[in-house]
Amino acid sequence: MTYYLSLGSNLGEREQTINRALACLEELAGVITSRSEFFYSAPWGYNSPNPFCNLCCCVETNLQPLQMLQATQAVERRLGRSHKTADGHYEDRTIDIDLIRAFDGNGQEIRWETETLTLPHPLWQQREFVRVPLQEIITKQHKTIEHMRTRMVAGNWKMNKNLQEGVALATELKEAVKDPKCAVVIGTPFIHLATVAELLKGSPIKVAAENCADHEKGAYTGEVSAEMVKSTGAEYVILGHSERRQYYAESYEMLAEKVRLALANGLKVIFCIGEVKEEREAGKQNEVVKAQLEGSVFGLSAEEWKNIVLAYEPVWAIGTGLTATPEQAQEIHAYIRSLVADKFGKEAAEDTTILYGGSCNEKNAAELFACPDIDGGLIGGAALVADKFLAIIAAR
């Protein structure tokens, strides 16, 4: 996938342009991957206000042009820049993006070709356009790629599928998922783990357990320890799922211990939080998720936090067909991110993957995933059918 990103020459020197480009890329990380190539325009020795600044075009993205423009404008707002230059050229109405069409401040069309740009305006002609693989810039200039948070679609099979059915589903997914735009994880019952992990060797799909014990080892009949999970080849474990909290009385303290053991044994944790219907109706959702985080995972070190993925799952939406609206989900995801920022700092918060779960399916996924603080989904029912799960992965 190739993205074309044009940045204003009034940004300053080459270095500043690159840094600013990277800041934009961080904001747009949901659609830009390390495999993308990235075009940037470097300033070429003059400092006049540039009417073409801050225009971001994209090709072959799953974002609609308008969404892309909105995303760019969100970046601008975040960076505290106005949409208008001193000479008034840059106003929203002077910008039009229609896949590979862009207009300059005088309404003249800027024509993009695959690798070259036709520059109708003399100012543009003073600019240097360089085609650089994104990975190259990042390795040289910045560690930003490491700071781009992982986008993810994770399935949670729950107590469905016997071993043969699980293997059949994993095989189908393996065949279809070759180069996904996001991380893909499937959470399976314990009995599938070793077989499915073996089957998925060499595939980008990773395997998660749906639980692990709150004890290290010993006489706990029927339990499976984090170390045992790890020995199957699984890389993740889903903890704190509302069904575990509700039906198996998993307390904050017990979950804190499970998380500690999972991390100590080299697993990554998908940690679920979310309010029940009555709490949502009483407007207590923020309070609830805060208590869940504080009770089980906010005691972790900054280093340990790097292996935590959060999943916000309103309990009233799980398996019910009711979904949080994108606005409801975005609002609480942003709140959760702010809690992480208060606890672990802004950078860690920006790096934290926060999934949405609760009747997310192939029809509503794209809309949910377009929200800036929703980094993907934890999928129950729709993860049991290969086509549906694949469509959700494609929506991310």
Q: Which stretch binds ligand PEP (CB under 6 A): 1-9, 17-25, 92-100, 373-381?
A: 373-381
Beta strands 109-112 and 101-103 are antiparallel
Binders of ligand PEP among 129-188, rule CB under 6 A? 156
Answer for which of 379, 392, 393, 395 binds ligand PEP (CB under 6 A) is 379
Judged by CB under 6 A, which stretch of 199-207, 210-218, 220-228, 376-384 contacts ligand PEP? 376-384
- With CB atoms as reference, the residue minimizing the distance to ligand PEP is 380
In whole angstroms, what is the distance from residue 42 CA to residue 17 CA? 6
Q: Is 392 in the site for ligand PEP (CB under 6 A)?
A: no
Nearest alpha-carbon partner for 379 in 395, 355, 353, 360: 360
Give the contact letters, 284-323, x = binds to ligand PEP (CB under 6 A), - = no.
Answer: -----------------------------x----xx----
Q: Which of 243, 313, 333, 362 is catalytic?
A: 313
Residue 327 CB-density burial (10 A; 0-12 exposed, 13-18 middle, 19+ buried): exposed
**Is the CB of 12 or the CB of 319 nearer to ligand PEP?**
319
Q: How many CB atoms lie within 10 A of CB 122?
A: 7
Contact with ligand PEP (CB under 6 A) among 8, 180, 274, 357: 357
Site string for ligand PEP, 317-356 (x = CB under 6 A): -xx-------------------------------------
Closest to 235 (Cα-Cα) out of 272, 213, 209, 203: 209
Alpha-carbon gap, residue 355 to 353, rounded angstroms: 6
Q: Examine the residue annotation and report whether 333 is marked as an active-site residue of this protein.
A: no
CA dist., res. 278 & res. 65, Å (int) = 39
State in angstroms the smallest separation of the CB of 311 from ligand PEP: 7
Catalytic residue flag (residue 89): no
Q: In the chain, which ranges are continuous DSSP H helix?
A: 14-27, 65-78, 122-125, 134-141, 144-147, 163-176, 193-199, 226-231, 242-247, 252-264, 277-281, 285-296, 302-305, 326-344, 346-351, 365-369, 386-395
Nearer Cβ to ligand PEP (117/371): 371
Catalytic residues: 241, 313
Residues of the shown chain interacting with ligand PEP in the complex, contacts defined by CB under 6 A: 156, 313, 318-319, 357-360, 378-382
